């Protein structure tokens, strides 16, 4: 039995702008930043407010997921009217992968080991420093279990860092937060031949879906589905 399953974690989550779903569904994968570049996507495809921080702090080669089912970033994006979806991945899929845990928000925390500062102390519950990381992570099963035993029940923000890319299984679920978004997701999954389940849930924050954003997403998806070689046009809600 894997560490997450032993800690009674059922699912792990990833959040994405809805218009990126055609690329995810077509490859059946979540890609780390180097793989996104190799696939031909321009740098502006990456989330502008976290990409530079992830790389600078030594975490550019990971695919970032979380144990938080309603993180602040999702609430902020939906609250601003930007169509986003939740990708739900069974914990056993993650336990079968190569991954680390981090009890800090990699892109946001201010407690870093750099410029002569010691950073967060290493410990079984905080994790340890590896490679060029400026933030400690739990990489061994013993450290993962220790971190989860303290911070999971306390609702601490815990990132799940996949070493490289993550292949998504047919047991993946896409959660939408409006009927309009669910219709677009259904079309994406149908046209890419995906067997993933679709659920519609109540938004964790007020979601006043803006018609202009919805139309931009629809047009983007139309083009992405029509041309598998297309790599986007720079639509990036962090810049709006």
Over 80: is that where the pLDDT of 100 sits? yes
- Residues 193-207: tens digit of each pLDDT: 999 999 999 999 999
Residue 141's alpha-carbon distances to 18, 44, 64, 95, in angstroms, are: 34, 36, 19, 10
| Residue 144 forms part of a structural domain | yes
Better-scored residue on pLDDT, 21 or 52: 21
Q: In the predicted model, what is the mean pLDDT of residues 49-65?
A: 86
The whole-angstrom separation of Cα 176 and Cα 163 is 27
Residue 213 near residue 83, CB atoms below 8 Å: yes
| Residue 236 forms part of a structural domain | no
Q: In the predicted model, what is the mean pLDDT of residues 18-27?
A: 96
pLDDT score for 233: 86
| Residue 129 forms part of a structural domain | yes
User: What global pTM score does this model have?
Assistant: 0.94
Band of the pLDDT at 47, cuts 50, 70, 90? Answer: low
Burial of 163 from C-beta contacts in 10 A (0-12 / 13-18 / 19+): middle
Taking each helix axis from N to C terminus, what angle separates 211-226 and 179-192, rounded to the nearest 10 degrees? Answer: 0
| Residue 74 forms part of a structural domain | yes
Nearest Cα to 50, choosing from 127, 107, 109? 107
Over 80: is that where the pLDDT of 239 sits? no
The whole-angstrom separation of Cα 172 and Cα 152 is 23
For Cα atoms 32, 94, 129, give the angle at the middle one, nearest 5 degrees: 65
Host H or E run for residue 55: helix 48-56
pLDDT score for 140: 98
pLDDT score for 146: 97
pLDDT score for 235: 82
Residue 185 near residue 49, CB atoms below 8 Å: no
Domain that holds residue 113: 3-231
Dihedral Cα 219, 195, 96, 141, nearest 10 deg: 60
Nearest Cα to 30, choosing from 103, 68, 87? 87
pLDDT score for 174: 98
Over 60: is that where the pLDDT of 147 sits? yes
Q: Are strands 173-176 and 197-200 parallel, antiparallel or unpaired?
A: parallel
Contacts of 71 (CB under 8 A, 6+ apart): 13, 15, 157
| Residue 239 forms part of a structural domain | no
Q: How many domains does the chain have?
A: 1
Sign of CA dihedral 206, 200, 44, 11: positive
Residue whose entry in the numeric block shows the structure tokens 């490859």: 27
Mean pLDDT over the full length of the chain: 93
| Residue 134 forms part of a structural domain | yes
Band of the pLDDT at 1, cuts 50, 70, 90? Answer: confident
The number of beta carbons lying within 10 Å of the beta carbon of residue 2 is 17
| Residue 86 forms part of a structural domain | yes
Over 90: is that where the pLDDT of 54 sits? no
- Residues 104-113: tens digit of each pLDDT: 999 889 999 9
Over 70: is that where the pLDDT of 240 sits? no
Which token pair is 188?
A: 């994406």
């Amino acid at each position: 039995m894997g560490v997450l399953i032993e800690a009674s974690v059922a699912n792990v989550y990833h959040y994405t702008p809805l218009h990126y779903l055609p690329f995810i569904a077509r490859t059946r994968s979540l890609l780390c930043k180097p793989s996104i570049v190799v696939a031909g996507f321009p740098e502006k495809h990456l989330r502008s407010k976290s990409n530079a921080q992830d790389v600078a702090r030594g975490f550019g080669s990971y695919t970032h997921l979380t144990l938080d089912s309603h993180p602040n970033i999702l609430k902020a994006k939906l609250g601003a009217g930007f169509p986003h979806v939740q990708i739900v991945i069974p914990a056993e899929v993650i336990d079968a992968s190569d991954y680390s845990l981090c009890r800090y928000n990699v892109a946001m925390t201010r407690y870093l080991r750099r410029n002569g500062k010691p950073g967060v102390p290493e410990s079984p519950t905080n994790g340890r420093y590896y490679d060029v990381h400026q933030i400690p992570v739990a990489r061994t099963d013993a450290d993962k279990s220790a971190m989860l035993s303290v911070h999971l029940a306390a609702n601490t923000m815990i990132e799940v860092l996949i070493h490289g890319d993550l292949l998504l299984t047919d047991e993946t679920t896409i959660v939408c937060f409006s009927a309009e978004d669910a219709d677009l997701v259904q079309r994406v999954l149908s046209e890419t031949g995906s067997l993933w389940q679709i659920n519609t849930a109540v938004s964790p924050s007020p979601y006043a879906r803006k018609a202009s954003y919805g139309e931009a997403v629809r047009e983007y998806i139309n083009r992405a589905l029509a041309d598998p070689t297309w790599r986007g046009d720079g639509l990036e809600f962090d810049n709006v």
